[in-house]
Amino acid sequence: MLATAGVVRGLIGPREVPRLWERHVLNCAVVAELVPAGSRLVDVGSGAGLPGVVLALARPDVEVVLVEPLARRVAFLEECRDRLGLDSVAVYRGRAEEPGVVRALGGVDVVTARAVAPLDRLAGWCLPLLRPGGRLLALKGDSAADELRTARPVLDRAGAAEAEIIDIGASVVSPATRVVVVKRGTVRGRARGGRKG
């Protein structure tokens, strides 16, 4: 679906087709081990379903909501859900930063995002969706450390308890998937933590 309809609808660039499996699908799939069993997960800016649809396939025990503002992408995600028989997936049209989205979907265990926005903006949008103790899993590249440094004030204001960078899936995908993991605190306080790799 990504290599055909995804390209035609502009969700995946044609140059990405030869490397869809490793660069996109596996890159997302390895994140499944960071998602606790039976979680409720919101994937912000789902676009082509990366990582939301991939995680739903890898983890049928997880309830996944794909959040996407653009109608053509929402239609694609609904087709993916239906064609793949993903009963644990819902598609929600909206933007994470909209108050209505927080009211409708807030209090989840995990929020994921890949190629959506810099971490400072992303944290401001995503942390309010999490329950206390919930985690934001932001898939990032080489800019992760710089983004985390820049985002510290926003993380503090948003009530993050800790934040770290981890590389995951090195035995499955090369390079490993880099994830900024931000845990929402129960009270507002300084985000702590460093880099693990």
**What CATH number did the domain enclosing 120 receive?**
3.40.50.150
Could you read off the pLDDT of 58-101 as tens digits, one per residue? 999 999 999 999 999 999 999 999 999 999 999 999 999 998 89
- Is the Cβ–Cβ distance between 111 and 44 less than 8 Å? yes
**pTM for the whole structure:** 0.90
Domain presence at residue 139:
yes
Q: Which domain holds residue 158?
A: 5-184
* Strand spans (E) along 141-192: 160-168, 177-184
Domain presence at residue 195:
no
The whole-number pLDDT of residue 33 equals 95
Domain presence at residue 191:
no
* Number of separate domains in the chain: 1
pLDDT category of residue 157 using cuts at 50, 70 and 90:
confident
Instruction: Tell me the C-alpha distance between 40 and 24, whole Å.
Output: 22
Residue-level length of the chain: 197
Domain presence at residue 192:
no
Domain presence at residue 193:
no
Domain presence at residue 57:
yes
Specify the residue for token string 């845990």. Answer: 183
Q: Kindly state the DSSP code that residue 21 receives in the 8-state scheme.
A: I
**For the residues 47-62, what does the mean pLDDT come to?**
96
The whole-number pLDDT of residue 194 equals 44
- Is the Cβ–Cβ distance between 101 and 95 less than 8 Å? yes
42 forms beta bridges with 65, 111
**For the residues 133-140, what does the mean pLDDT come to?**
96
pLDDT category of residue 187 using cuts at 50, 70 and 90:
low
Domain presence at residue 16:
yes
What are the structure tokens assigned to 14, written together?
């044609």
Domain presence at residue 145:
yes
**89-93, strands of its sheet edge to edge:** 89-93, 63-68, 40-44, 108-114, 130-140, 177-184, 160-168
**For the residues 142-147, what does the mean pLDDT come to?**
92
Instruction: For 124, list phi and psi in degrees, rounded to 5.
Output: -60, -35
Quickly list H helices, 46-184.
52-58, 71-84, 99-105, 119-126, 144-158
* 118 pLDDT higher than 50: yes
